[in-house]
Amino acid sequence: MTETPHDITLTLNGTPRRLSVPARRLLSDAIRHDARLTGTHVGCEHGVCGACTVLVDGQPMRSCLMFAVSADGAEITTTEGCTTATGGLGPVQQAFRDCHALQCGFCTPGFITTITAFLETNPDPTEDEAREAIGGNLCRCTGYQNIVAAVLRAAQIQREQSQLQGEQGQPA
């Protein structure tokens, strides 16, 4: 059989992208192979590991558990979009480096997106809250300890940045 392509638009890290995909194309594959943003990784394709987590309209979701066609029109943020406006490391990314919160880096993009969204709603988490926030993402390298530290460090970086912006009279 020949599959009918569906024309969809995904706004990927702020840039609208028109894609033509078969109905069964997983959102993870559409992001990676159709839009060629390969920062989002696929670790299990059954929704358990969290490596493929992206923000869909601001909410962390498993991109391997969605069909791209069903996400038509959505705003999607991947780890490539978690940088600063000028392309430098964003607060969560910087915190991961500061705290040695990654080793092989394969699961990292799913953590970065998850934590970015978490800090939006909880900018000053406790260590327990930080650990709970990453509770749905598997990492086989780090033992999580430094990722927990990175959540707290990212919150600190964000607070310092917004304080600095406040002092300089810029919009936070």
Within residues 6-35, the interface with other proteins by CB under 8 A covers 6, 22-26, 29, 32-33
Q: Could you give the C-alpha distances from 5 to 15, 23, 30, 96, 136, in angstroms and in order?
A: 22, 7, 13, 39, 33
CB nearer to other proteins: give 65 or 159. 65
CB of 131 vs other proteins, minimal distance in Å? 5
CB nearer to other proteins: give 47 or 159. 47
CB of 85 vs other proteins, minimal distance in Å? 14
Give the separation between CA 111 and CA 52, rounded to whole angstroms: 9
Give the separation between CA 102 and CA 88, rounded to whole angstroms: 18
Site for other proteins in 97-116 (CB under 8 A): 97-98, 100, 102-109, 112, 114
CB nearer to other proteins: give 140 or 166. 140
How many chain residues are in contact with other proteins, going by CB under 8 A? 80
Q: Count other Cβ atoms within 10 Å, centred on residue 20.
A: 10
Q: Which of 46, 21, 44 is CA-nearest to residue 31?
A: 21
Site for other proteins in 133-152 (CB under 8 A): 133-148
40 interacts with other proteins by CB under 8 A: yes
CB nearer to other proteins: give 16 or 143. 143
67 interacts with other proteins by CB under 8 A: yes
The binder of other proteins chosen from 77, 78, 116, 158 (CB under 8 A): 78
Give the separation between CA 125 and CA 120, rounded to whole angstroms: 11
Q: Could you give the C-alpha distances from 26 to 30, 60, 100, in angstroms and in order?
A: 6, 16, 31
CB of 168 vs other proteins, minimal distance in Å? 26
Q: Count other Cβ atoms within 10 Å, centred on residue 17.
A: 17
